[in-house]
Amino acid sequence: MLEISNLVKRYGHDEAVLKGLDLTVEGNSVVAIVGASGAGKSTMLRCINRLVEPTSGSIKLNGNELVKLRGAALRRARRKIGMVFQGFNLIDRLTVMENVLAGRLGYVSLYQAISRRYPPADIERAFSLMERVGIAHYANKRADELSGGERQRVGVVRALMQEPEVLLADEPTASLDPRTSEQIMILLQSLASELSLPVLINIHNVSQAKTYTERIVGLRHGKMIFDGAPSDFNQDALDAIYGGIEAPEEEVAEVPPTAEGVSHDQA
């Protein structure tokens, strides 16, 4: 379980970007974080894995306070936080398997990593996860030979190799075409349930948030102004979050796409 209490982040002397956020996410839940550009979505995710230092507040993962951790304790805690990125963050010249095994870097010794002598259990886990997401046949391909959707599956498997207790996804579908985006959202949804993993997804596409997550958190100027079920995310909520700032283009569609129209083959 992830418990965020009164989280504040101020960059330098500027106005706070996060103004006292409270959010609790249980295992299995897929939560979409929506909000206009600059609302603080990425800052919030980055505070959780401490890529950004929170100014104050508390972030607990399964009871362990993350905010005060330093050095080795912070590195150990970070292993439990998987991250999936918009731009995939793969090493292009390495194979899919090598990229996936990079998810174990927090666990193996420097010697094992440099000599690529990962324990057999890591290799087995890598294959089984790659099979699960449909990329096992690409194990020896260079990462830059894959399509965007395949590359994001590599990114997801690499994050899962960490045996995370929470998965954070920062705009994981923003670089993908609509159909591939939907497949990745379905994959994240299924994995959350299979692995009892809380998943937080920063997403601009409100239609996808409504279709593929079970809870939407809306930020505006660093404050949470909506927290509820997708069915309650109505025009008033949209106006409150985006009113006067921007109209997310996907909301032009009157009817959000439903899961029925999407292939579940690879989910």
Ligand X SMILES: Nc1ncnc2c1ncn2[C@@H]1O[C@H](COP(=O)(O)OP(=O)(O)OP(=O)(O)O)[C@@H](O)[C@H]1O
Q: How many residues does the chain have?
A: 267
CB-wise, 210 or 220, nearer to ligand X? Answer: 220
Quote the least distance from Cβ 17 to ligand X, whole Å.
Answer: 4
Quote the least distance from Cβ 14 to ligand X, whole Å.
Answer: 7
Residue holding tokens 């949209």? 238
CB-wise, 39 or 90, nearer to ligand X? Answer: 39
The reply to whether 11 sits near ligand X by the rule CB under 6 A is yes
The reply to whether 43 sits near ligand X by the rule CB under 6 A is yes
Quote the least distance from Cβ 96 to ligand X, whole Å.
Answer: 28
Residue from the set 27, 38, 57, 106 that interacts with ligand X by CB under 6 A: 38
Joined tokens for residue 222 = 């660093």
CB-wise, 42 or 208, nearer to ligand X? Answer: 42
Near ligand X by CB under 6 A, which window of 38-46, 53-61, 148-156, 174-182?
A: 38-46
Near ligand X by CB under 6 A, which window of 36-44, 180-188, 223-231, 245-253?
A: 36-44
CB-wise, 40 or 198, nearer to ligand X? Answer: 40
Distance of CA 242 to the CA centre of its chain: 22
Quote the least distance from Cβ 121 to ligand X, whole Å.
Answer: 36
Alpha-carbon distance of 258 to 262, in angstroms, equals: 7
The reply to whether 208 sits near ligand X by the rule CB under 6 A is no
The reply to whether 35 sits near ligand X by the rule CB under 6 A is yes
Alpha-carbon distance of 213 to 142, in angstroms, equals: 32
Using alpha carbons, list the distances in angstroms from residue 30 to 4, 64, 142, 200: 16, 21, 31, 6
Alpha-carbon distance of 109 to 213, in angstroms, equals: 37
Quote the least distance from Cβ 179 to ligand X, whole Å.
Answer: 23
Give the DSSP letter string of 201-257: EE-S-HHHHHHH-SEEEEEETTEEEEEE-GGG--HHHHHHHHTTT---GGGGSSS--
Quote the least distance from Cβ 106 to ligand X, whole Å.
Answer: 24
Cα Dmax for the chain: 56
The reply to whether 39 sits near ligand X by the rule CB under 6 A is yes
The reply to whether 164 sits near ligand X by the rule CB under 6 A is no
Amino acid, single-letter form, for residue 148: G
The reply to whether 40 sits near ligand X by the rule CB under 6 A is yes
CB 101 within 8 A of CB 157: no
Alpha-carbon distance of 98 to 81, in angstroms, equals: 20
Residue from the set 41, 151, 153, 215 that interacts with ligand X by CB under 6 A: 41
Q: Which residues bind ligand X (CB under 6 A)?
A: 11, 17, 35, 37-43
